[in-house]
Structures are given as C-alpha cells and as structure tokens.
Structure 1
C-alpha cells in the first residue's frame, strides 16, 4: 500500500510587533499584527503607562489648588487626583475594547488594536508633565475674607482651567484621542477587510470615550468657559 504523504505543518504565527512600532508605520504594524496569534491582553502595558501618566498630568495641573481655604488633604488629595484619571483611562480602554468588539467583530481584535493606539499618549503626557514642572503656575485669585473653602477651591480651579497650559493639555489630549480612532480604523480595515466593520468599530465608542476624556479634566474644562 502506498504511503500517504503528510501535509506540511502550518507556518508558525508571526511575532506581534511592539506597540512603539505603531508610531513608525501603522500599515506595517497592523499587517504584522494580523499575522500574529490573537491575544486580547497583548497591549495592556501601554494602557497602564498612559493611565499613570494621565493621573500625573492632572495632579500636577491642579496641585496649586490643594489645601486652599483651609480644605487640607495634602498628599491624600494629590493621590486621589492621580487615581481619578488613572481609573478613567483604564475604564476608557474598557469601553474602547468592548464597544469596538461590538462594531468590528471578533476578527477586528479591538482590545489589541485600541491597546496599541495608547502608545501615542505617553510621549504627550511626559511633555505635559515636564511643562507643568518648569513653567510658572497660574496666578490664583486671593480668597475673600471669610470665604467658604469650597468657593475658594472653585475659584482656584477656574483660574487653573483658564491658564495656557491647561488649555493646551485639554486640546492636545482630545487631538491624541481622535488620532487613536484614526489609527484604530486603519487597524480594523487591515484585520477585517471590511470598511463597514472598520467604521463601526471606530465610531461605536467614539462619543462615549471623548466625553470620558473631558470628564477626566473635569473642573479644568469648566474653567475654559
């Protein structure tokens, strides 16, 4: 009886690219990602780093308002400011991954695609941290005699929100978030081969995440108006 030839083993999956490679060439990045084995948790490191730095940016922007009017708090308030934006960033990634999955489907690998786009944020946040440390803080209004501590805090936050650095931080963060969606669309197109599914994976989480980004800056955004 003739021996049947065994089929050759399938080629091993391509090694997934590092998240920083997305900045060098999105097309090549997503082609390599498409050839790699799916792993939803692959790019959680950029998300975690961006979350920590986002908290640091906000805490530094509002640091001059901590303790005004006898409100106290000190280190605990700074830690709360950091944690608040850290949590919102991680929660925002959860929205991106979940709603992106609903729009682009399993083949879109939304958790990986959106996780990789967070590589855009650490350089921006590091720049804002450096600027907040080297530039002089905004001039805060003098509290009126007998003013309530909460009113003093609100007035100080409005002054911080109207400062040039706060405006730059809000605008650049929103632009970076929009750039994440542009890159995500490119990734979904490569992974699904369907412009419609790529568009759904991009647009489904767009508005909720933009709103969440503004919430992260909270009082500073209110101070812009």
Structure 2
C-alpha cells in the first residue's frame, strides 16, 4: 500500500487499507506532518508579519524576541492543531458512521491533501512572499486607549497590505478547496469501508463538517465581539 495510490486511485488505496487489520493510529503521523508543513508554509508566507510583530513587541515593551521564536511557535502550534483536528474528525466520523468505518485511518489518509498543498504553498511563499512596509509606531510613553488605538491602527494597516497580495488571496481560496478535497477523500474511504453504505458514509463526513462550520462561525462571532470591545476601550 502506497500513499501515492491515494492520488492516483483513492478507491484502490482504501480497498488495500481495508484488507489490513484495524489500526486507528496507523496514519496518525500524517496529520502531524501535514501540520508541520502547514506551519512552515504559513511562516514563510507571513514572515514579514511575524517580523513586524517582533518589532512591535520590542517597541511596546523593550523586550526583543527573535523572529525565529515566533516561527518555531507557529510551526509547533500548527502541528498540534492538525493532530487535534484529526482526533476530532476521527471521533465525529465514528459517531456518525460507526467504528467499522475506520474513521481514524480514513481521515488520517485524507491529510495527504493539506500536506501536498502546504509543500506547494511553501515554494510559492519563497518565490512570491508578500512584503509589509508599514513603519512600526513608537509606542513609548503611550498608555490605555492611546496605546490600544496605535496598536490597532498598525495591525490593521499591516493586515490590509498583507491581504492585498495575490499569493495570499490565492492561498485563501486554495485552503477552502483543500478542505473540500479532504472531505471528498474521506467520503470515498468511508464508502469503501462500509460496503457502499452511502447514508452512513455521508454521516461520517457531514458530522465533522457541520462541527467545523459551527466552530468557525463561533470563532468569527467571538472575534467580532472582541474587536467591538477593543474599539470601545
């Protein structure tokens, strides 16, 4: 069984996986590797923002932290989030489709899609990384509302300049497409494992997908509320 078969023929790959003994943790390394690659591509794409954050921290507190620290934290955090995402997908798939659907292995294999995209994005980020040229404000002596306002204006200007980059826009669109590919692969795998029981296979996909939508909507609401509170300070 070769992971490349998942690209060439997903059905053949999952048929071969089905013949192996049940081992939910068999592909647990793939979400971690995808997370590491995703974190690396993210820091390569947003390295100018990470550097500006380090400069802003130095301006406001006088503490100078190397940008590499932010890089390392982002990569490790991305790997941890990716692994936790796999656990959630596995659990929700088992809830929707049952243990015999082998959700841990199926969703583990599906992380090949974000892994490959992260490698492509890393190359694009090296070649076309957006540059942020917003000058870091001098925050010395600022307190309270004045400090918050200065940080907000700087952050908004940096984000606006970063988001205007073509490669950032392309990566945003592709990230949604990769989610769809990942769930498409999972649907194929669940159908194979469940002898084409489409109802249970769809539940194994829709349960985690709906959970992700709910969590995403909640995150947007919390972010909006936090921004509103910050603006009121």
The TM-score normalised by the length of structure 2 is 0.76
Match of 1:68 in 2: 55
Q: CA RMSD in A?
A: 2.5
How many Å separate the matches in 2 of 1:122 and 1:166?
18
How far apart are residue 45 of structure 1 and its match? 2.3
Where do 5+ consecutive residues of structure 2 fail to align? Answer: 224-233
Kept after mapping to 2: 8 A contact 1:68/1:153: no
Kept after mapping to 2: 8 A contact 1:102/1:201: yes
- The yes-or-no answer on 1:31 pairing with 2:15 is yes
Task: Select the structure that is richer in helix.
Answer: 2
Match of 1:198 in 2: 201
Report the structure number with the largest CA radius of gyration. 1
Kept after mapping to 2: 8 A contact 1:20/1:119: no
How many Å separate the matches in 2 of 1:203 and 1:29?
22
Where do 5+ consecutive residues of structure 1 fail to align? Answer: 1-16, 220-225
How many Å separate the matches in 1 of 2:65 and 2:161?
20
Kept after mapping to 2: 8 A contact 1:41/1:111: yes
Q: Deviations over 1:68-119 (max 9, x none)?
A: 3336432222222222322221111111111011111011000000101111
- The yes-or-no answer on 1:133 pairing with 2:126 is yes
The TM-score normalised by the length of structure 1 is 0.79
How far apart are residue 158 of structure 1 and its match? 3.3
How many Å separate the matches in 2 of 1:53 and 1:204?
26
Judged with a 3 Å threshold, the aligned counterparts in structure 2 of structure 1 residues 56 and 213 are, in CA distance, closer, same or farther, namely: farther
How many Å separate the matches in 2 of 1:206 and 1:48?
20
How many Å separate the matches in 1 of 2:159 and 2:39?
16
Judged with a 3 Å threshold, the aligned counterparts in structure 2 of structure 1 residues 155 and 80 are, in CA distance, closer, same or farther, namely: farther
How many Å separate the matches in 1 of 2:74 and 2:215?
15
- The yes-or-no answer on 1:163 pairing with 2:165 is yes
Match of 1:44 in 2: 28
